[in-house]
Homo-oligomer: A and B are copies of this chain.
Amino acid sequence: MIGADAIRGHIDLILLAILEHGRSYAYEISKTLERRSSGEYTIKQTTLYTAVKRLQAQGLLDAHEELSETGKPRTYYALTVEGHEQLALKRDEWRSTRALVDQFAVPTGDAQPSSAAQPSHEQDQVPS
């Protein structure tokens, strides 16, 4: 189960990425997310709706209502040009973040530099 705080800050990236493949509406996005995470992550309705509105307010998403077969309105969201740009930026940021966390989180990488000799400080003698 993936906690919310873990993906906090990456939600925007995920939403933009999902919409990259074509427009969608909030409810469908939540299902997409749940499916593609194999049930590991379920975004809360409120979180999602506030997120898409935030992105829309930032001009990254374009909203337009349409009637579904049932006759009920559905709000479709699609990436704007700026949305595409931001998506690229956020992808880059994600790669940086991932590299940073991996450096600490994944010790299995390969020779993590001087494990015990980490203190490359000079006056860092640990007394006692």
Report B-chain residues with C-beta under 8 Å of the C-beta of A21.
108, 115-116, 118
Assess whether A50 is interfacial by the CB under 8 Å rule: no
Measured CB to CB, the nearest residue on chain B to A112 is: B21
Task: Please state the number of chain copies in the assembly.
Answer: 2
Measured CB to CB, the nearest residue on chain B to A87 is: B105
Report B-chain residues with C-beta under 8 Å of the C-beta of A90.
105
Instruction: Tell me which of B9, B41, B104, B110 contacts A17 (CB under 8 A).
Output: B104
Report B-chain residues with C-beta under 8 Å of the C-beta of A7.
9, 97, 100-101
Check if A96 sits within 8 Å of B2, measured CB to CB: yes
Given contacts A10-B6, A101-B13, A104-B17, contact A95 B119 (CB under 8 A): no
- Report the minimum CB–CB distance from A6 to chain B (whole Å): 4
Assess whether A40 is interfacial by the CB under 8 Å rule: yes
Question: Could you list 8 A-B pairs, sorted by A, with CB under 8 Å?
Answer: A6-B93, A14-B104, A32-B118, A36-B104, A37-B103, A38-B127, A38-B128, A99-B118
Chain A residues near B (Cβ < 8 Å): 2-3, 5-10, 13-14, 17-18, 20-23, 28, 31-32, 35-38, 40-41, 66, 69, 90-91, 93-110, 115-121, 123-124, 126-128
